[in-house]
Amino acid sequence: MIPAPFTYKRASSVDEALQLAAQGGDDAKFLAGGHSLLPLMKLRLAVPEILIDIGRIGELRYIRDDGSHIAVGALTSHDEMARSGLLGSELPLLAHAAGQVGDPQVRHRGTIGGSLAHADPAADLPAVILALDATLVASGPSGSREIAAGEFFRGLFESALRPGELLTEIRIRRPQAAGWSFQKFTKRAIDWAIVGVAVQGGSVALVNMGPTPLRASAVERAMSSGAGPRDAAAHAAEGSSPPGDINAGRGYREHLARVLVARALEESRSRA
Ligand code: FAD
């Protein structure tokens, strides 16, 4: 339960963080809220030699209306999103889901950038930004680039970020279809989702149904062909490969996905 020794460096700007990351190379890791990285370090599943603390870079902490889209800085905490009036009115799916992450301590420390960069398929926000078709902005030694949410999650705990690249901003266009829903099935209120579902209009994304967050494409196709929530939800497990673990077997997760997608589609329809 004690991490391996490491060198701690604190960055006060994006430029400084990128410089430190370039100097540290493969031995360095960014530290944001620390609520995923530090537990891994204590278990020695992650052993970075250099930790670059980005947690106090104020320029990455904001939620603002940029006209064509809403921009969320990577260091914005789950709690800030859950309480944001702008998100509440423009992107209620994101505000609501952020309020369902863990417990109050986790929501005050954890950041959207950390959650997405960590790429845990059991996390809530990756599926939400997938359903919202967000664009992620990453900065690295050779400048900034945009990555579509659908291209970002590459595998279990694996994202499209290159070594030394910092996720700086999440851009989300205002949804054209108003209906939304977020369903999260847990044993206890503060737990990770055994299965989760994020719906925005005709987009449906699944939590913990494979090595990455997934779009439930078969459900989306059924809906666009006119199927109702129950019939469309029958396709929820198609194309998924859910894990079996101490909380639930594969078959149970597949069943849950069908039940939760039906609930989500019905709730989304009632809000449209
Ligand atoms: P960190 O732990 O600091 O970093 C995580 C990883 O991302 C590291 O590899 C780090 O190098 C990298 N990283 C961080 N920021 C950036 C960046 N801007 N650019 C590039 N790389 C970056 N999550 C849920 O979704 N749902 C839950 O129900 C839930 N429950 C939790 C319960 C507990 C008890 C705990 C401890 C955590 C829980 N979490 C849950 C995870 C929580 O949301 C984390 O805060 C989040 O996953 C990681 O965010 P962080 O800011 O803490 O990142």
Distance 153 CA to ligand 1 centre (A): 15
- Assess contact for 116 and 170: CB atoms under 8 A: yes
Q: Dihedral of CA 183/250/37/160: which sign?
A: negative
What are the strands, taking DSSP E only, across the chain? 7-10, 28-31, 50-53, 63-65, 69-73, 135-140, 143-148, 153-155, 158-159, 166-173, 180-185, 195-200, 203-207, 214-215
Q: What are residue 176's phi and psi, to 5 degrees?
A: -80, -35
Residue closest via CA to ligand 1's atom 46 equals 115
pLDDT for 177 equals 80
Taking the model in full, what pTM does it have? 0.97
> Tens-of-pLDDT digits for all 272 residues of the chain?
789 999 999 999 999 999 999 999 989 999 999 999 999 999 999 999 999 999 999 999 999 999 999 999 999 999 999 999 999 999 999 999 999 999 999 999 999 999 999 999 999 999 999 999 999 999 998 899 999 999 999 999 999 999 999 999 999 999 988 899 999 999 998 899 999 999 999 999 999 999 999 999 999 999 999 999 999 999 999 999 999 999 999 999 999 999 999 999 999 999 98
pLDDT for 46 equals 94
pLDDT for 131 equals 98
pLDDT for 14 equals 97
Atom number in ligand 1 closest to CA 167 = 19
Distance 189 CA to ligand 1 centre (A): 18
Q: What are residue 65's phi and psi, to 5 degrees?
A: -90, 110
Q: What is the dihedral of CA 105, 107, 108, 112, to 10 degrees?
A: 150
Q: Cα angle vertex 3, ends 58, 165, to 5°?
A: 40
Spatial distance between the Cα atoms of 240 and 186, rounded to a whole number of angstroms: 19
Q: Which residue has the tokens 């064509």?
A: 68
Q: How far is CA 247 from CA 95, 138, 174, 187, in A?
A: 27, 35, 36, 8
Q: Taking CB atoms and a 6 Å cutoff, what residues make up the pocket around ligand 1?
A: 29-37, 39, 74, 101-102, 106, 109-111, 113-115, 117-118, 123-125, 161, 166-167, 192
Distance 270 CA to ligand 1 centre (A): 32
pLDDT for 189 equals 86
Spatial distance between the Cα atoms of 73 and 60, rounded to a whole number of angstroms: 5
